[in-house]
Structure 1
């Protein structure tokens, strides 16, 4: 049954597996009330996940682990471990240190889910991997949004329930991918190579430009996702609405990235991935600039703009990955993409730390700390176009 529609199986498993990513953020407000966590503590837990993911990605890139273990098996093992560690967080929540360790370990597990999902897509659908990648990133977005949905569905239940449900989804993802296996079109990979071979791809001007654009995108993306519950709660308070709407609206804002990714993928077939990536990055950058200036405007207007931001902030991600895939040295493609992901996610740590630490003192003005990402990313992408014309 699973092998009949492999792409559907992979993207649904990606959705289920990545529900672990922001599982704690989905119950963040409840944790603040139940165990006394602050905004800075929640930021630390988010950073711990990112740090774990970066560490795991670097391990995969430098040890060749993803090539030594069957991709479907590594995905399944990672999803099972992530599910168990995510559930164990419940017992560690009252200690910020133990909670951060648990989230770091969850991030390590995610490093065997997200990148391996990309590899599985290529192994099953090589002829339309670009469009499939749009769906994969879209499902990553929906997976990250899902903890807010789970919290909305269990609002009158203890905060532990959404975490346990996310773990059950990850276990389902493990079973799906284990049964699916690896597709028949998996590209051959070198049995050995220098550990840091992925860095050599940055000598290629167009790969370097696409990677730098991706880095600017990463600086903004996860910090905004971490801010979404606070931004939504601010507007609900101004409206005098019940807090029960907060998880639903937070889910909606982040989940809008799914149609954004899918539409961007379709649009890229007409005008190219570079143009689509630049339009999305410019749109989210413009929102970084103007959103704080509209702080006294109608709450409904700000919620609508937040929805537009949810669409645009992730729409360029798959396109940057597609550009990097097309311009990296073929013999170092896996290592190059893993290294690009590791550096990009590394940049999410300081941006998340800034916005969560400064939210109480700066409120909406904290968003301006995200603006350098889109600006520098767009400047870098000018180099991509320039080298295309010269080639």
Structure 2
């Protein structure tokens, strides 16, 4: 069945608009702490609240099979509107840490109806070339992830409340676009009832387990690397006083370059196969983890930054391809549920790897701590070995 060409760009743009909610709080985090007189420890709590909200939301969405029982476009729209409202609520002047945490948690909760549901919508439109389609969606998410670092570099030009207002408006625009322009796809097969066993049923398929484990290994590395990019840059500056660079701008570039590699990986997968391209990217990011002690300790500033840019490309390139394999190996009527489940478990894993890396960073300033990120890709490659 032929799909009109404007559909994919609209889904991608809407995904970017709505996932900007995810990182809006990060862009004004320091201002929140100062404005509401919070303790420095609040930074970590506010960051984690979104992740925990997303994990909780994806679990509930998966158990209730929301994206499969109801119109994905309507689910996306409602989630975007409610998520935007909770994001906007942060501008209220009487917040305490508890109420701020609730706002960020609920924003993360309704992102569960945006990010995985956006992939579900794309998979309902594109069976052939799904890897390329999802590569554009994940690329949009990558740019959204990097955007707060660029925004931080421009902070003096904006009031912190305007950042939250603009991101909320963007989310509403994205939700309305999906509702009005992107009806349910031609390949959608609705599930008629709640299947509480669906959470476990999708893992009965051996191929699905294989690609899901590959995705989990990828997630172990991804968000820990993204979270520590600014720390890596700051640490290098401290140990090389003669070196001066813009940490916020470089953080943006190192993360954002992954958006380009996602798109490139999507096109490459059409030539050499989705499975092989995903495994290749996972292997290369694993290699970056293993050689990081030497590359991060180099005296050459150019080599140091160049390595981080390369790592930023490989660390995310496999994500849309692994999501494609998850969608392709899930039961058709549970495709949305399967994507949501895998997202939920994957993001839960990121909390563990980030906390482990944080503990190691407190314990020692050695660059060898980043080699622990290799465990995820290694286990992911082992899980994918029968899929290549």
Superposed pair shares fold, TM > 0.5: yes
Alpha-carbon spacing, 1:78–1:368, altered in 2? closer, same or farther (3 Å): same
Structure 2 equivalent of residue 347 of structure 1: 349
- Alignment size in residue pairs: 381
SS of match in other structure, 2:346: helix
Distance 1:288 1:55 in 2: 30
Alpha-carbon spacing, 1:374–1:122, altered in 2? closer, same or farther (3 Å): closer
Compute the TM-score of the two structures, normalised by the length of structure 2.
0.88
- Displacement after TM superposition at 1:136 (Å): 0.8
SS of match in other structure, 1:291: helix
Distance 1:83 1:186 in 2: 29
Structure 2 equivalent of residue 180 of structure 1: 181
Residue 377, structure 1, aligned to residue 380, structure 2: yes
- Displacement after TM superposition at 1:331 (Å): 4.0
Q: Deviations over 1:332-384 (max 9, x none)?
A: 33332222222111111111222334434434444233221111111111233
Structure 1 equivalent of residue 321 of structure 2: 319
Alpha-carbon spacing, 1:36–1:252, altered in 2? closer, same or farther (3 Å): farther
Structure 1 equivalent of residue 163 of structure 2: 162
Distance 1:304 1:31 in 2: 33
- Displacement after TM superposition at 1:26 (Å): 3.1
Distance 1:57 1:107 in 2: 10
More displaced stretch, 369-378 vs 26-35: 26-35
Q: What does 1:254-293 correspond to in 2, within 5 Å?
A: 254-293=255-294
Q: Deviations over 1:247-271 (max 9, x none)?
A: 2221111111111111111111122
Distance 2:242 2:23 in 1: 27
8 Å CA contact retained: 2:68, 2:333: no
- Displacement after TM superposition at 1:184 (Å): 4.6
More displaced stretch, 220-229 vs 150-159: 150-159
Q: Deviations over 1:260-284 (max 9, x none)?
A: 1111111111221222112111221
8 Å CA contact retained: 1:235, 1:303: no
8 Å CA contact retained: 2:131, 2:269: no
Distance 1:156 1:365 in 2: 38
More displaced stretch, 263-272 vs 68-77: 68-77
Distance 2:93 2:372 in 1: 32
Q: Deviations over 1:67-94 (max 9, x none)?
A: 4443222212211222222233345897
SS of match in other structure, 1:21: helix
Q: Deviations over 1:170-222 (max 9, x none)?
A: 22212322321414514122202521314222222221111111101111111
Distance 1:160 1:332 in 2: 40
Distance 1:240 1:36 in 2: 34
Structure 1 equivalent of residue 249 of structure 2: 248
- Displacement after TM superposition at 1:126 (Å): 4.1
Q: Deviations over 1:145-185 (max 9, x none)?
A: 12222222334444444333322322221232232141451
SS of match in other structure, 1:187: coil
Alpha-carbon spacing, 1:357–1:37, altered in 2? closer, same or farther (3 Å): farther
- Displacement after TM superposition at 1:102 (Å): 2.2
Q: What does 1:1-391 correspond to in 2, within 5 Å?
A: 5-28=6-29, 35=37, 38=40, 41-91=42-92, 95-237=96-238, 238=240, 245-297=246-298, 298-363=300-365, 364-385=367-388
8 Å CA contact retained: 1:198, 1:337: no
8 Å CA contact retained: 1:134, 1:318: yes
More displaced stretch, 360-369 vs 43-52: 360-369
SS of match in other structure, 2:23: coil
Alpha-carbon spacing, 1:100–1:157, altered in 2? closer, same or farther (3 Å): same
8 Å CA contact retained: 1:93, 1:99: no
- Displacement after TM superposition at 1:58 (Å): 1.6
8 Å CA contact retained: 1:287, 1:309: yes
More displaced stretch, 45-54 vs 312-321: 45-54
Compute the TM-score of the two structures, normalised by the length of structure 1.
0.87
8 Å CA contact retained: 2:189, 2:333: no
8 Å CA contact retained: 2:123, 2:327: no
8 Å CA contact retained: 1:236, 1:246: no
